[in-house]
A and B are shown apart, each in its own frame.
Chain A
């Protein structure tokens, strides 16, 4: 296997900079191509590479297709990027498959939709703490005007929820390990060939994802601005738990597939077990094929089915399918933590949610397939009317089945708890490509 050229890759592929607690995502528009190219040439010298381990701050940069076009990338080269990247997140077909309809329709978005200026550049900025981040941002922002770019929006993720997301569950536990990235050894099912995430390397089909030469050591980034209705979620769960005469946390954990600590229901079905909080080496087929522990419809089971899908559940053939649909998740929460979801909210109840950001080499086969065929699909793995109870797009008949003996129980009329408020597909270039782009 080819060695990974870490010094040429942006650090965002290798890590989410968890130790840098504050993050800003800055959306820019290019107003002057020539100034922007000069600005980029300087910016390139401050970009954090995958070979670095920053302890103070980090900076990475990605571009939409309009950004690459404005920077003067030839049509012929642009045409070699994927159709998803070129045509974007808001085509009529993608609205349907990603679930961006109704309140999630791009017309309602804060950014990335038809009513707001199209972003060209995304700056991914991280700092040890808020002041450090502010300093870095200020010195960068000073260069925007002369650099031919204007800030459209600055999204801030300063919140630290102690490893949990806003609904109250540990997040980001199941991350794939990129083969050859570090000396860390992971289980074979969770060790994924680099070409699934980095362009220019072999993927799980033993091929390279088609892309222009310029894209080598680069990757695609999917960014979704997801608002979470935390009050709505817990109030619904409380009412449903009363109606079914069960415990609230138990019911919510069934919907997630892990307990609040992160412990998987498949390993500890009856109560939370903090010692299993980070457990990730488990399968579904032997011991939990019917979902009596972790329901088939649960969020974690459908977004990462492990060995549970055809062909031949429980075998390497099934795992091979799962390995072709993995994501490097790099998202962060935004908005203040929720103290008491049952309390009456103040008039200016702030928005809270997740900047869902993930890195992959094939948007159609990875992010889009997971979102459409697994998360939003009401008929996933033989279900009826059962989209992801937590994050899926819900129609009025959305239901969640909890397998049990003698009969499974069904929670019905589940409202939608997550609304899309922005998003776009980006390309994260290598440092070599960044220099080429700045040279025009």
Chain B
């Protein structure tokens, strides 16, 4: 099975080059699939990709942090394979982009430059591990063609048994050469992948059991420190300006999917750094082994998400591709998993005050929304590999394909037909 990789590349921007770079990216973004900088439409392995600029900032001690260019992509297969293909097919455009960046020495050094500036994700979430771009497109086509067939024969099928309708659909697929692939189920996890994941789970669980006494011993101290930080942390409630809100909104709601990009400083001190590391490690673990299929504890609108520590763990980038409006996205989180938001983000500077790491915090709807907006970054360039499809649509399409063949009883057949 091919599983998805999260590619991250971050470079410093040369002093004074920010505006030119911004213009370059914004112009290309008008046609993310076919622009002449990086025409992402040619890469059949790309789910989502984005470039964004982090404006110059400073850390909590006042040390300056240079302006950065960040490139993120969610791709099928290995990151190194994708980077190779990227350089192969878009070297000129990438050269134009990275000539605005520090330490770049021309086209001949492009691939090593990209590798040198790669960052690992601290945690990542994939809606459904192993579902490729090709599969998403194929299954969307299958659903459209089956639905079209039903539309043409709808009145004839009235009063027909579900079993006979399904048989007619199977026959339609068999007579349609372009749907030959649909006669086989999607390639599930192969034994090597399954073994690897099981091994990872087993080793981690054993390590957890071995270390448990240590965790237990450290817990009182950790809780004491947590409470001390939570009661003493300064959290400012900063309102976003109307200009910021409008700038951010300009890139949103052109279709049913949206990018979310944000960055923030961690609260000062080793305790918060340690806690953030542990929580994000846990997040990654759960996303990999538990929430790896179409549902993040009730939130079913996220395609991909990742957290990346940068600047020696003084800052974190969070980025996602999600369905619906930002308002709906925030409400979704507040209403469904405020505790999870609190755990993963409350080590961030200015995050609304939490109690016991998971209580309160995002439950203050308005302060949380302001925090979100004031930490959001403009995504100058965003490419989506399958526009118009929500994560719910994609999952439904997969289930249509999965239920096309194989044994289904009467009730299951009826339910399957309702998916079309």
Which residues of chain B from 345 to 397 have any CB-CB distance to chain A below 8 Å in the complex? 363-366, 390, 392-393, 396
A146 interfacial by beta-carbon distance below 8 Å: no
Closest to B336 in A: A311
A87, B363: Cβ atoms closer than 8 Å: no
A290, B418: Cβ atoms closer than 8 Å: yes
A154 interfacial by beta-carbon distance below 8 Å: no
Given the known inter-chain contacts A324-B335, A377-B324, A382-B396, please indicate yes or no for A96 contacting B254, CB distance below 8 A: yes
Q: Mark A201-212, 1 if CB is under 8 A from B, else 0.
A: 000010101100
Inter-chain contact count A-B, CB under 8 Å?
A: 107
Residues in B whose Cβ lies below 8 Å from that of A382 = 390, 392-393, 396
Partner of A379, one of B246, B298, B390: B390
Partner of A408, one of B240, B364, B420: B420
A311, B335: Cβ atoms closer than 8 Å: yes
Closest to A243 in B: B155
Partner of A407, one of B246, B256, B417: B417
A93, B246: Cβ atoms closer than 8 Å: yes
B155, A92: Cβ atoms closer than 8 Å: no
A406, B328: Cβ atoms closer than 8 Å: no
User: Given the complex of chains A and B, what is the CA–CA distance between A93 and B243 in angstroms?
Assistant: 13
Stretch binding the partner chain, chosen from B106-114, B158-166, B195-203, B311-319: B158-166
Count of chain B residues with a beta carbon within 8 Å of a chain A beta carbon: 45
Q: Mark A392-431, 1 if CB is under 8 A from B, else 0.
A: 0000000000010111111010000000000000000000
Given the known inter-chain contacts A93-B252, A93-B253, A209-B366, please indicate yes or no for A369 contacting B328, CB distance below 8 A: yes
Partner of A406, one of B161, B239, B299, B300: B161
B151 interfacial by beta-carbon distance below 8 Å: yes
Residues in B whose Cβ lies below 8 Å from that of A412 = 151
B210 interfacial by beta-carbon distance below 8 Å: no
User: Given the complex of chains A and B, what is the CA–CA distance between A91 and B328 in angstroms?
Assistant: 19
User: Given the complex of chains A and B, what is the CA–CA distance between A368 and B328 in angstroms?
Assistant: 10
B18 interfacial by beta-carbon distance below 8 Å: no
Q: Mark B294-318, 1 if CB is under 8 A from A, else 0.
A: 0000111000000000000000000
B336, A87: Cβ atoms closer than 8 Å: no
Given the known inter-chain contacts A86-B242, A312-B298, A369-B331, please indicate yes or no for A406 contacting B165, CB distance below 8 A: yes
A93, B331: Cβ atoms closer than 8 Å: no
A213 interfacial by beta-carbon distance below 8 Å: no
User: Given the complex of chains A and B, what is the CA–CA distance between A118 and B298 in angstroms?
Assistant: 44
Which residues of chain A from 367 to 405 have any CB-CB distance to chain B below 8 Å in the complex? 368-369, 372-373, 377-379, 382, 384, 403, 405
B245, A244: Cβ atoms closer than 8 Å: no
Q: Would you give the shortest CB distance from B30 to chain A, in whole angstroms?
A: 15
A277 interfacial by beta-carbon distance below 8 Å: no
B325 interfacial by beta-carbon distance below 8 Å: yes
A377, B256: Cβ atoms closer than 8 Å: yes
B147 interfacial by beta-carbon distance below 8 Å: yes
A407, B150: Cβ atoms closer than 8 Å: yes
Q: Mark A81-118, 1 if CB is under 8 A from B, else 0.
A: 00100110001110011000000000000000000000
B212 interfacial by beta-carbon distance below 8 Å: no
User: Given the complex of chains A and B, what is the CA–CA distance between A377 and B414 in angstroms?
Assistant: 27
A310 interfacial by beta-carbon distance below 8 Å: yes
Further pairs besides A91-B249, A412-B151: 19, Cβ < 8 Å: A87-B245, A92-B249, A93-B249, A93-B252, A93-B253, A205-B365, A210-B366, A244-B154, A310-B299, A310-B300, A317-B335, A321-B335, A369-B325, A369-B328, A379-B390, A382-B392, A405-B162, A406-B160, A408-B150
- Cβ contacts A to B, 16 pairs, < 8 Å: A91-B246, A97-B253, A97-B325, A207-B365, A321-B335, A365-B327, A365-B331, A369-B325, A377-B256, A378-B256, A379-B256, A382-B392, A406-B162, A406-B417, A407-B157, A407-B417
Task: Report the 8 A-B pairs with minimum CB-CB distance, sorted nearest first.
Answer: A93-B249, A311-B298, A373-B328, A379-B390, A406-B162, A382-B392, A311-B336, A406-B165
